[in-house]
Structure 1
């Protein structure tokens, strides 16, 4: 004869953790037939009273994750009064962590969900930065949180990726002498655009290292000091025309530059 029972899964958040634990435990027993009734976002004592109505204590068991102490203790009292067994999944872990860290938990529901949301936002931002890197598709300018503009090797790509890991959707656009600037740059709010400038002597050294990696020689225009001055002058004119803030990237680490960009964006928004 099968044992039929109902597992009441309660949580002040989504309740996925409690449900997974309840199923994993219930599946360990043969000759049983169980049903799971899940109640997410239990955030009031009245909701517990409503759940307790019309249930059969003889075939019920409660499994729950509650970080709200008042609601958790109320649920425990209600279960004891009706003789219903209950499992508080969070309490043993919180007790151990409290003793280990010597501090009380914040008791905020949905923390894991918030972390998951933050993770997926970061992944989306990184994918965005890759898709619209180096002016691949100027349409991304209209969708971006931040638009970086500058000459080649002014740290646009590494800065874009670093900012993406901070959850910002970033597009970077190269400014090349003689090439048309995307129209979209003049369609977005100036507060979203950041110009990147760099000292010519530093830029030439960075480019020389780059062509060495590519197996090219130093005679190309890419490392010509006259060409570099021309490019920087052109970039400066574009930035002035756009009226955007400008950061000097000379000797700056990506982390330092990223903090400057974030400060500028936050101040202007």
Structure 2
């Protein structure tokens, strides 16, 4: 048994979007009074190379590993690394509470439903959602530096639904649209706190989405907004802008909202880990 005094590093490893493992981790950790967890999220883990990256992260910040991996070879590789590093690698289908009790040296309270209590994390998610709704579509730019994450992209790149999905995880998210012929707001270019991510989409797909949007609004269908050549130019300029700013870029063409959000949160976590290492 290994008792811990400070925060415990908790690694969440999934070959999908990580929704299940995130909920299980929270439901279990709230059973241990006074334990603060630093979560390291590793989602969409589907290759041996990605598992190697996960193992390197565990070596840098040792702690329990919660896993949902369908591929037995990937799970065995991770489990072997856990044994070598002397940290538990726990399948969430196994008795998670028992394994965490063994590692943390604390007895679980055994109160069903504690994850739904009105705790600080709950109010944090409410605050994050309120912030995100207020900062949708380039609104209230004066305090955008208070955001955790800012999404930037041309029209119809799923900025708003992605923001709301991430906000439900407790992150303050804003989004800023790119409008042809209009410069980036100064508040965005001078922001230093948030992770800024550029979203893009295939021009042909964008034209289809935008045309459907106009039909729903009973608006005219003849404009640069759905002109393929103009949309291609718009997307190209956006990519060049992202490159100049040094922002990570995610192509949402073949991604669900959940997958896009997961990728963004992984980038956010990687940056957070780098900041911890520098400190």
TM-score scaled to structure 1, two decimals?
0.58
2:197 is paired with a residue of what secondary structure? strand
Number of the residue aligned with 1:181: 184
TM-score scaled to structure 2, two decimals?
0.56
1:44-77 CA distance string (max 9 Å, x none): xxxxxxxxxxxxxxxxxxxxxxxxxxxxxxxxxx
Give, in angstroms, the shift of residue 122 of structure 1: 1.0
1:58-109 CA distance string (max 9 Å, x none): xxxxxxxxxxxxxxxxxxxxxxxxxxxxxxxxxxxxxxxxxxxxx8971289
Number of the residue aligned with 2:137: 134
2:128 to 125, 130, 155: 125
Counterpart-to-counterpart distance in 2, 1:148 and 1:140: 15
Give, in angstroms, the shift of residue 140 of structure 1: 3.4
Structure ID, larger Rg: 1
Question: Which runs of no fewer than 5 residues in structure 1 stay unpaired?
Answer: 1-42, 44-102
1:20-55 CA distance string (max 9 Å, x none): xxxxxxxxxxxxxxxxxxxxxxx9xxxxxxxxxxxx
1:179-201 CA distance string (max 9 Å, x none): 02011222224871101011111
Given that 2:148 and 2:193 are in contact with CA atoms closer than 8 Å, whether structure 1 keeps it comes out as no
Counterpart-to-counterpart distance in 2, 1:264 and 1:191: 12
Number of the residue aligned with 1:236: 239
Number of the residue aligned with 2:9: none
* Higher RCO structure, 1 or 2 (CA under 8 Å, sep 6+): 2
Regions of 4+ moved over 3 Å: 111-115
Question: Which runs of no fewer than 5 residues in structure 2 stay unpaired?
Answer: 1-33, 35-97, 102-106, 273-279
Give, in angstroms, the shift of residue 178 of structure 1: 0.9
Given that 2:200 and 2:235 are in contact with CA atoms closer than 8 Å, whether structure 1 keeps it comes out as yes
Bigger CA drift: 184-193 or 160-169? 184-193
1:143 to 136, 141, 146: 146
- 2:109 is the counterpart of 1:107: yes
Counterpart-to-counterpart distance in 1, 2:218 and 2:115: 48
